[in-house]
Chain A
Amino acid sequence: MIGSVPILRIGRTLLLSIQLELSDAVAETLQNDVLLAIEKHGTSSLVIDITGFDFVDTYVARILAETSKMARLMGTETVIVGMRPEVAATLVRMGYTMEGVRFALDLDEGLGLLGHVIAR
């Protein structure tokens, strides 16, 4: 069931706010759904918010990195936002640095990085 991770569309941006730990199966399904959504909506950017992650294993990290690269091939820039310090430290210690993926501190920053300006 993928119902637990909604894919929100704001203009030409897709927003994925993952608020729970991803199981391997859900991560794979999610990747597939995101790519289908990109194709369907003609998206130009994708923001993945992982503020809710206390822990990311290398498998889920790889799925996220791959999704970002696949999205780029389809013309969509990805930014991963909201990684926690301890998650970053763990990933790096495991030797997984997610090269080629862009990161931002939070959703606001991420959208800014993609050239969006949110009216205040």
Chain B
Amino acid sequence: MDHQKYLKLLRFDEAELASRRAFFKVGDEDLKRLADLRAFAEQHSDAVIDAFYEMLLGHAETKRFFPDEAAVRRVKRLQRDYFLGLFSGRCDLEYVQDRLRVGAAHERIGLSPKWYLGAYRQYLALLRTKLLADFDAERAELCAQSLERLVFFDMSIAIDTYIAANVETIGRHQHAIRELSTPVIRVHDRILLMPLVGTVDSLRASQIMETLLVRVVDEKARYVIIDIAGVPVVDTKVADSLVKTTSAVRLLGAETILTGISPPIARTIVQLGVEIVNMHTRARLQEGIELALELAGKVIVDRKPTG
């Protein structure tokens, strides 16, 4: 279940629960006061929720989350349970899980926190009116305060879930990008090719090195061709990371051939004063492959002499 995952992701345990309740000042007396309002909440829930949805459906951007009548009826029911949860007199891990589930559901359908927060404020305002109508001013004020505490506590959880879900998505994407950005291709027996395309930042540079080294050992490679024709900018950092990668490849007993060195790159490398050691370099990938084959004791010959 999603909310279980988020509970873990947010490291929400008894200690976190206690600390958060203390921070939002959700005390036992607040929960008791809200539990005493259970009958009141049930009595008004339909009216409050109807008014609440009137507002949501009256707003074009929130209206689109409720495509038809059936959808509205379904979420109204869920909403009722959710709101009555505030008057359950509980605020334990089970309660938190319930709230996490809501945040996760919102993230899934793409309902951004601003709608959630705006809607919750509206709900609080509606309830406050009902409280003032049903009770004397002092009790209404105390109840409204307790409600506010628990509602803010709820919102903190929903937002945390929202952020955690987003961070997780970003992490998944980064992983996919990393895999895409460091392909290693076996071009011949014991010859590997790593074509680099796009900007090389420090994270990617270390990714390149790690991926390449593991593949060198796995494939028992003797020669590694790194093609940098697709790297737009070669600065000191990039050059330095290539030199480092080459040095590490050497420690495993393989040799590196750097190809795709265009005139601007050649100029940059020399002008930056980067020492290219232990590395064969060639302008084009084709020459790099020919060199690797030559070093491996192989030659490419035309089948028929062409004149």
Contact = CB atoms under 8 A, between A and B. Distances in A.
Q: Do A and B bind each other?
A: yes
Interface of A: 80-81, 83-89, 91-93, 97-99, 103-106, 109-110, 113
A92 B254 contact: no
Contact of A109 (B244, B250, B253): B253
A87 B213 CA distance: 10
Interface in B216-254: 216-217, 220-222, 244-245, 247-254
A104 B221 CA distance: 10
A98 B216 CA distance: 19
Nearest to B254: A105
B213 A88 contact: yes
B210 interface: yes
A91 B252 contact: no
Contact of B247 (A86, A97, A105): A97
A110 B252 CA distance: 11
B220 A103 contact: no
22 contacts: A85-B210, A85-B248, A85-B252, A87-B251, A88-B213, A88-B251, A89-B213, A89-B248, A92-B209, A92-B244, A92-B245, A92-B247, A92-B248, A103-B252, A103-B253, A105-B216, A105-B220, A105-B221, A105-B222, A106-B220, A106-B253, A110-B253
Interface of B: 206, 209-210, 213-214, 216-217, 220-222, 244-245, 247-254, 277
Contacts of A92: 209, 244-245, 247-248, 251
Q: Which 4 A-B pairs have the closest CB atoms?
A: A85-B213, A104-B253, A97-B247, A88-B251
Given A85-B210, A88-B213, A93-B244, A98 B251 contact: yes
B254 A88 contact: no
Contacts of B221: 105
Nearest to A90: B248
Between A85, A89, A91, the greatest number of chain B beta carbons within 10 A of the residue's beta carbon is seen for A85
A91 B209 CA distance: 12
Contacts of B247: 92, 97
Contact of B253 (A81, A89, A99): A81
B258 to A, nearest CB: 16
B24 to A, nearest CB: 45
Contact of A103 (B210, B245, B250, B277): B250
B125 to A, nearest CB: 58
B250 A85 contact: no
Contacts of A103: 250-253
A85 B247 CA distance: 12
A91 B251 contact: yes
Nearest to A61: B251
Contacts of A85: 210, 213-214, 216-217, 248, 252
Contact of A105 (B206, B244, B245, B253): B253
Given A88-B252, A105-B222, 5 more contacts: A85-B252, A88-B213, A89-B209, A99-B277, A113-B253
Between A88, A89, A91, A103, the greatest number of chain B beta carbons within 10 A of the residue's beta carbon is seen for A88
A83 B244 contact: no
Contacts of A93: 244
Contacts of B213: 85-86, 88-89
Contacts of A113: 253
A87 B252 CA distance: 9
Contact of B217 (A91, A97, A98, A105): A105
A4 B274 CA distance: 43
Contacts of B252: 83, 85, 88, 103, 105
Between B213, B221, B244, the greatest number of chain A beta carbons within 10 A of the residue's beta carbon is seen for B213
A97 B253 contact: no
B29 to A, nearest CB: 57
Contacts of A106: 220, 253
Contacts of B214: 85
